[in-house]
Structure 1
Amino acid sequence: MRLIGLTAVLTFLLDQATKYLVVIHLNLRELLVLDVAPPFLNLRMVWNRGVNFGIGAGDGDLTRWGLTIMAITISGAILWWARKEAFSPLGQLSAGLLVGGALGNAVDRVIYGAVADFLNMSCCGLYNPFSFNVADITIFMGAFGLVLFTGNNKST
């Protein structure tokens, strides 16, 4: 469980630090667009009030607080599951990535009322209209890792 906690804390801190750096320090909240290494890396400010790709985005408080409570509940359920099943180290790392990312996005909803998404990447003539953040990446990696490294798929 120590690895889960350490991974979750480091993931949360990395997510919040990048959001502070980009949204506040670089002032992307007002600039809205900052090309870093086009088209491979651009910063595009989006306030996501829904889930992935803005799905279910309602501006109401019900959506905001419902998604915040859901992130906290899922994080708690994963921690309970990890303790019950005694995850392998890779399972623990995956759980920590997912929990840290989920809590990072939950904090955004509490502070800003929406999740701060800003990373935008395109490549090879394909344009990507969506923005995301570090928490989104770690949530995906953690969920994928839980599928691969828990249950019958345990691996060290």
Structure 2
Amino acid sequence: MRVVGISALVAFLLDQLTKNHALYVLDLDRVGVLQIWPPYLVYQMGWNTGINFGLFGGADPSVTRWILIAVAVIIAVWVVWWVRKEQVGRLGQISAGLLVGGALGNVVDRVIYGAVVDFLNMSCCGIQNPFSFNVADVFVFAGAIGLVLFTSSHKTP
């Protein structure tokens, strides 16, 4: 379980450091957009009151905020419980930690700001992506994929 804790802490800290850099060093909330390596990497400020790709963003933020906080915390606790119960291998534990750390990074944003700080935007090959995301989203996605790839419910006899 130590591996889960360390990878969760690293994911959480990297997420919070990048968001604080975007908000307070780059002043992205005021600036709005910074062209880093267009169109492949653009810093585009967004306050996300929903979930990925703006889902539930149109709903009442005062309600969805606390619902999404509760859902993220419940999922994080369940993942830790499940990893402990199943005794998954090292890569599965790292994956679980990434998912938990990313989820808790977004929870902290919702508690402090009422929304998640999104600032990364990537487009490619003539396809314009209108959505921003953050490092926590990357960790949650990578962690979920890792759990699928590196854990198995099939026991060998």
Match of 1:94 in 2: 95
Match of 2:30 in 1: 30
Q: Distance in 1 between matches of 2:154 and 2:100?
A: 20
> Once superposed, which parts of structure 1, at least 4 consecutive aligned residues long, lie more than 4 Å away?
none
In the alignment, is the contact (CA less than 8 A) between 1:11 and 1:100 conserved in 2?
Answer: yes
Residue 19 of structure 1 deviates from its aligned partner by: 0.1
**TM-score, normalised relative to structure 1:** 0.95
2:66 maps to 1:65:
yes
Residue 25 of structure 1 deviates from its aligned partner by: 1.2
Which deviations, in whole Å up to 9, do the C-alpha atoms of 1:57-100 show, x marking residues without a partner? Answer: 22432100110111111100000001101010010010000000
> Runs of 5+ in structure 1 lacking a partner?
none
Count of aligned positions: 154
Root-mean-square deviation over aligned CA pairs: 1.2
SS in 1 for 2:72: helix
Match of 1:20 in 2: 20
Which deviations, in whole Å up to 9, do the C-alpha atoms of 1:21-73 show, x marking residues without a partner? Answer: 01221100111111111111101111000111110122432100110111111
Q: Distance in 2 between matches of 1:153 and 1:46?
A: 42
2:43 maps to 1:46:
no
2:128 maps to 1:127:
yes
> Runs of 5+ in structure 2 lacking a partner?
none
